[in-house]
Amino acid sequence: MVTKGADFCFVKADGSGINYYCPISSISDDIWGAVNENDRLSFKVGFNYGGPQCIDVAPL
Protein backbone atom coordinates (compact mmCIF):
# COMPACT_ATOMS: atom_id res chain seq x y z
CA MET A 1 0.00 0.00 0.00
CA VAL A 2 1.44 3.34 -1.05
CA THR A 3 -1.00 5.85 0.43
CA LYS A 4 -3.90 5.41 2.86
CA GLY A 5 -6.71 7.92 3.24
CA ALA A 6 -9.86 7.81 5.36
CA ASP A 7 -11.87 5.71 2.90
CA PHE A 8 -9.47 4.79 0.10
CA CYS A 9 -5.86 3.88 -0.60
CA PHE A 10 -3.49 3.47 -3.52
CA VAL A 11 -1.72 0.15 -4.04
CA LYS A 12 1.39 -0.24 -6.20
CA ALA A 13 1.63 -3.39 -8.31
CA ASP A 14 4.89 -5.33 -8.16
CA GLY A 15 6.79 -5.30 -11.42
CA SER A 16 4.80 -2.69 -13.30
CA GLY A 17 4.93 0.02 -10.64
CA ILE A 18 1.40 1.14 -11.48
CA ASN A 19 -0.59 2.64 -8.61
CA TYR A 20 -4.19 1.41 -8.44
CA TYR A 21 -7.05 3.13 -6.65
CA CYS A 22 -8.55 0.99 -3.90
CA PRO A 23 -11.84 2.06 -2.29
CA ILE A 24 -12.58 0.99 1.27
CA SER A 25 -15.40 -1.19 -0.10
CA SER A 26 -12.76 -3.50 -1.67
CA ILE A 27 -11.27 -4.32 1.74
CA SER A 28 -13.18 -5.87 4.64
CA ASP A 29 -13.57 -3.66 7.73
CA ASP A 30 -11.40 -5.84 9.99
CA ILE A 31 -8.53 -5.74 7.49
CA TRP A 32 -8.84 -1.98 6.76
CA GLY A 33 -7.96 -1.07 10.34
CA ALA A 34 -5.01 -3.47 10.40
CA VAL A 35 -3.21 -2.45 7.20
CA ASN A 36 -0.86 0.51 6.98
CA GLU A 37 1.25 2.25 4.38
CA ASN A 38 4.07 0.04 3.05
CA ASP A 39 2.16 -3.18 3.90
CA ARG A 40 2.10 -5.77 1.11
CA LEU A 41 -1.33 -6.74 -0.21
CA SER A 42 -2.64 -9.20 -2.75
CA PHE A 43 -5.38 -7.97 -5.09
CA LYS A 44 -7.02 -8.33 -8.47
CA VAL A 45 -7.52 -5.46 -10.89
CA GLY A 46 -11.08 -4.62 -11.88
CA PHE A 47 -12.39 -1.87 -14.12
CA ASN A 48 -15.22 0.63 -13.78
CA TYR A 49 -16.12 3.93 -15.44
CA GLY A 50 -13.44 5.71 -13.39
CA GLY A 51 -10.70 3.36 -14.58
CA PRO A 52 -8.84 0.42 -13.03
CA GLN A 53 -9.13 -0.28 -9.31
CA CYS A 54 -8.26 -2.99 -6.79
CA ILE A 55 -10.76 -5.70 -5.91
CA ASP A 56 -10.55 -8.77 -3.64
CA VAL A 57 -7.84 -7.15 -1.50
CA ALA A 58 -6.15 -9.19 1.24
CA PRO A 59 -2.93 -8.81 3.23
CA LEU A 60 0.04 -11.06 2.36
Distance CA 19, CA 42 (A): 13
Q: Given this model, what pLDDT does residue 21 score?
A: 95
What architecture (CATH level 2) is domain 3-59?
Answer: Beta Barrel (2.40)
Q: CA–CA separation, 24 vs 32, rounded Å?
A: 7
What integer best gives the mean pLDDT of the chain? 91
- Mean pLDDT, to the nearest integer, of 20-27? 92
- Which pTM value belongs to this model? 0.84
Residues 41 and 1 sit within 8 Å (Cβ to Cβ): yes
| CB contact set of 2 (below 8 Å; sequence gap of 6+) | 9, 10, 11, 12, 19, 37
Give the C-alpha separation, 60 to 58, whole Å: 7
